[in-house]
C-alpha cells in the first residue's frame, strides 16, 4: 500500500473543516470550517491562513472564473469577493425546510455550482436534495430523497459524476453532460458500511477512480468506476471529511477532517483530528472546474 505521507498543513485544529479546493492561480488551498462560519485560504508557500467569516454556517464552496468564491451558507448560495469583502446572494435553497441545511458542494464541468442538503432532524428522513445553481441564480432540483447529500466529484472528461449519501449510505455514479448539466443513467456502485467508511466528501483522479473520505473509519477509500474498493488508506484523524488534489502536477493530496463531536477516546487515538492534511497521491487528480460567472 502506498504511504500518502499525510501531515498537518498548518497546526490549527479546526472544528469541522470541509470543501477543500486548490487554487492554481494563487497556489492556495481554500476550504471552510462549517461551524466557525469561516472560509480559509492557506498559502501553500508560506502557510499564511487568510480567514473570512459569514453570518451563518459555511457548508461548502467553489472557485469562480472572476476570482470570486461561490459559497453555500445555511440556506443560500452567495458569490463572495475576497478582495472587497462584499457578497451577492445568488439563490435560496430549501429555506422553507427548517430541519435542512446546505452541505457538500462543488463546481461541475458545466460551470454551475452543484450543492446538496442534509436533514439534521432526529428522524433523519430523506427529505434533502441535490441542486444545480448557475450564475444567473437559477436553481434546479436534480436528485431528491436524500438524507445527507455528499461526495460530489467529476471525471476528467466531464462525462461522469459521483454523488453520495453519507447516511444512505451509498455511492452513485451518473452520466453527466458538461454542455447542459443534464444527468442520467444513475447507477449505485457501492454501499459502504461503518467499518469500511461511510462516504463523506469525494474527489476523482485522472484514471477515473473515485476517492471517498470514510468519515466513520479514519480511512480514505479509492473506488474503481464500477464500485470495487481498490485501495483503503489510513488517515491520522478519526473522521476525514473530504479529499482534494492540487499542486502543479495535481499529485498533492489534501484531506480535511473534523474534531467536533469526537469522543475522548477518539481524540486520544487521533489527536490530529480537525487538521487539514497534506500528502502525496500515487496518481494525479482531476482539476475542479471554476464557477462560470463571467
The predicted structure's pLDDT at residue 2? 75
The predicted structure's pLDDT at residue 72? 98
Segment 216-242 mean pLDDT: 98
DSSP 206-253: TTS-EEEEETTTTEEEEE-TTS-EEEEEE-SSSSEEEEEEESTTS-EE
Q: 3-class DSSP state for residue 34? A: helix
C-alpha dihedral (13, 212, 190, 233), degrees to nearest 10: -90
pLDDT digits (tens, 9 = 90+) for 100-120: 999 999 999 999 999 999 999
200 in catalytic set:
yes
Among all chains, which residue has been given the C-alpha cell 436524500?
A: 146
**Residue 251 pLDDT > 90:** yes
Among all chains, which residue has been given the C-alpha cell 451558507?
A: 73
Cell of 63: 472557485
pLDDT digits (tens, 9 = 90+) for 192-226: 999 999 999 999 999 999 999 999 999 999 999 99
**Residue 8 pLDDT > 70:** yes
Among the listed residues 69, 72, 59, the one whose alpha carbon sits nearest the alpha carbon of residue 17: 59
In sequence order, which residues have a C-beta less than 8 Å from that of residue 161 and are 6 or more positions away?
108, 114, 152, 153, 154, 173, 174, 175, 176, 183
Among the listed residues 184, 200, 172, the one whose alpha carbon sits nearest the alpha carbon of residue 34: 200
**Residue 167 pLDDT > 70:** yes
Given the residues 33, 104, 200, 205, the one annotated as active site? 200
Segment 254-268 mean pLDDT: 98
Segment 263-276 mean pLDDT: 98
Distance CA 53, CA 40 (A): 9
**Residue 262 pLDDT > 70:** yes
Query: Is the entire prediction scored with pTM above 0.85?
Result: yes
Segment 153-173 mean pLDDT: 98
Segment 263-278 mean pLDDT: 98
Percent of the residues in the chain that have a pLDDT greater than 90, as a whole number = 99
**Residue 1 pLDDT > 90:** no
Q: 3-class DSSP state for residue 33? A: strand
The predicted structure's pLDDT at residue 181? 98
Fold classification of 7-280 (topology level): Neuraminidase (2.120.10)
Cell of 4: 500518502
pLDDT digits (tens, 9 = 90+) for 47-70: 999 999 999 999 999 999 999 999
Mean pLDDT of the chain: 98
Amino acid at each position: 500500500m502506498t504511504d500518502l505521507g499525510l501531515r498537518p498543513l498548518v497546526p490549527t485544529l479546526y472544528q469541522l473543516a470541509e470543501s477543500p479546493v486548490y487554487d492554481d492561480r494563487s497556489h492556495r488551498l481554500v476550504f471552510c470550517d462549517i461551524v466557525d462560519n469561516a472560509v480559509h485560504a492557506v498559502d501553500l508557500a508560506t502557510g499564511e491562513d487568510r480567514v473570512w467569516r459569514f453570518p451563518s454556517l459555511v457548508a461548502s464552496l467553489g472557485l469562480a472564473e472572476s476570482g470570486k468564491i461561490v459559497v453555500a451558507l445555511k440556506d443560500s448560495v452567495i458569490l463572495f469577493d475576497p478582495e472587497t469583502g462584499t457578497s451577492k446572494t445568488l439563490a435560496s435553497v430549501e429555506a422553507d425546510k427548517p430541519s435542512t441545511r446546505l452541505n457538500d458542494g462543488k463546481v461541475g464541468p458545466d460551470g454551475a455550482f452543484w450543492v446538496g442538503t442534509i436533514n439534521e432532524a432526529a428522524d433523519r428522513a430523506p427529505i434533502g436534495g441535490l441542486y444545480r445553481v448557475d450564475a444567473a441564480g437559477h436553481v434546479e432540483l436534480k436528485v431528491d430523497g436524500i438524507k445527507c447529500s455528499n461526495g460530489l466529484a467529476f471525471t476528467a472528461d466531464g462525462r461522469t459524476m459521483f454523488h453520495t449519501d453519507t447516511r444512505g449510505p451509498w455511492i452513485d455514479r451518473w452520466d453527466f453532460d458538461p454542455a447542459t448539466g443534464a444527468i442520467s443513467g444513475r447507477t449505485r456502485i457501492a454501499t459502504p458500511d461503518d467499518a469500511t467508511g461511510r462516504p463523506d466528501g469525494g474527489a476523482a483522479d485522472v484514471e477515473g477512480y473515485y476517492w471517498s473520505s470514510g468519515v466513520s473509519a479514519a480511512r480514505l477509500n479509492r473506488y474503481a468506476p464500477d464500485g470495487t474498493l481498490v485501495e483503503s488508506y489510513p488517515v491520522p484523524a478519526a473522521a476525514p471529511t473530504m479529499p482534494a488534489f492540487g499542486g502543479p502536477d495535481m499529485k498533492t493530496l489534501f484531506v480535511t477532517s473534523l474534531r467536533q463531536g469526537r469522543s475522548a477516546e477518539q481524540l486520544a487515538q487521533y489527536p490530529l483530528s480537525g487538521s487539514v492534511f497534506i500528502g502525496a497521491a500515487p496518481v494525479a487528480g482531476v482539476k475542479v472546474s471554476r464557477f462560470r460567472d463571467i
